[in-house]
Structure 1
Amino acid sequence: MMGVFLFLCLLFPSFSAQDLTKVNVTEEITMMIPSNFRLMTDDEVASRYFTTKRPIAIYTNETVVIDLGINKTVTEWIADDLEIMVSFQKSNIYNFYDKIEMISQGIKEINGRKAAYFEFISTIKPDTQSFRAQSPVKKYTYIQYMIVGSHSWVFNFTSPVQLQNEWQPQLADIMNSVEFIKKKK
């Protein structure tokens, strides 16, 4: 039976676990990311994300359909505000998409710090004014928030919903690996 499993993993590598590599995202953050991910180019970020401020880092896979982003918010928070921030962010999530199927949510501890997380499937309906016939866009997303200092850090993973079963088991390893390094004085 094990031989059949190994054969299938070799035959269909996308269904096997991804190798993770520890990466220094910034001078103060390390985390494990899939070894075949790379930083998005500025053009890729500009074409996929409509924002005036570039995120701290956005990694993507070889086919540029899966994203792992890291960003720092400008809104100031204190660690005791995590539960208030969770309700605020949950409201934002529900307002941003046409439909949300919440898979899990909560607060957990990662390397001595509290983190809030939301795992969901989002649906964006096509533009009814479009000349092209379009299908709704469904994505699998895992967003994690951590308050460090006076800012919240956002770690988000997004993939097509069809890849959820492949990535969902490994996201705990990725998101639970986030570590903030204390700067040396």
Structure 2
Amino acid sequence: MKISPFLLLLFGLLAFAPKPKLTNVKLGSGLTVGVPATFAPLPDDGIAVKYPSPRKPLAVYSDRSGRVDYSVAVRPTTFESMDYGVLLKIYKSSIQRLYTKVDFIKEDIRTVNGRDFMYFEFVSTVADSQRANQLAPIKRYQAVQYAIQGQQLYIFTFVAPANEQAQWQPTAQAVMNAIVLK
């Protein structure tokens, strides 16, 4: 088997690629997340505008442009972590219903810092087919991770424009791997 010098060079460069710089933020008793160092917390009025919901997220951090977000939400649940296998299918179906089109990159149950999470990585598309003069579809790259702790469901979401996926994917993965939930 012959390995080309180009592949060796590529693997070598990737191994030494800079890791995204994260700042650890404690969001509550037993919950610490890694937030990109260049992100800033969104104030409550900004959260209300960007995430209109009766239950606002626990925290939202945005890049300087305001186009890339990392949010943490907590919701009550009656499910338990042993239900992850079934919930993975339910949440996948829910994600598919939210958007016109979903291209899944990855979906699985994985362990991060000793805790199991349900993980989805995908590109979503929302197309406006109701108007006579249609608007351009909105495409977003998203990484979403769920965990159940007691009676609470924790939802960690990283969202960026789909055309910037290559730039933000390493950061999204680093953020999801930096969650510590005790």
Q: Same fold (TM over 0.5)?
A: yes
The one-letter code of the counterpart of 1:30 is: T
Q: Is the 8 A contact 1:78 1:151 kept in 2?
A: no
The letter of the residue matching 1:141 is Q
8 Å Cα contact 2:76/2:151 also seen in 1: no
In the other structure, the counterpart of 2:54 is: 52
For residues 76-155 of structure 1, the aligned pairs below 5 Å read 76-126=78-128, 128-129=130-131, 133-155=134-156
Shift of 1:176: 1.1
After the TM superposition, list the runs of 4 or more consecutive aligned residues in structure 1 that deviate by more than 3 angstroms: none
Distance 1:98 1:125 in 2: 6
CA contact (8 A) 1:108 1:116 kept: yes
The CA distance in 2 between the partners of 1:135 and 1:44, in whole Å, is 25
1:133 CA drift (Å): 5.0
Corresponding residue SS for 1:158 = strand
Confirm whether residue 29 of structure 1 aligns to residue 9 of structure 2.
no
Per the normalisation by structure 2, the TM-score is 0.84
1:61-76 equivalent positions in 2, closer than 5 A: 61-76=63-78
Q: Mind listing any 5+ residue stretches in structure 1 that lack a counterpart?
A: 1-15
Counterpart CA distance in 1 for 2:121 and 2:181 is: 22
Amino acid of the structure 1 residue aligned with 2:144: I
Deviation at 1:127, TM superposition (A): 5.3
Amino acid at match of 1:101: D
Q: Deviations over 1:31-80 (max 9, x none)?
A: 21111111112222222222111111111111110110101122222111
> 1:165 Cα shift?
0.2
Structure 2 equivalent of residue 160 of structure 1: 161
What CA deviation, in whole Å up to 9, does each residue of 1:112-163 have, x standing for no partner?
Answer: 1111101000000125337x65210000000001111122211000010111
Structure 2 residue identity aligned to 1:98: T
User: How many aligned positions are there?
Assistant: 165
Distance 1:17 1:111 in 2: 18
Question: Scaled by the length of structure 1, what TM-score is found?
Answer: 0.83
- Report SS of the residue matched to 1:126: coil
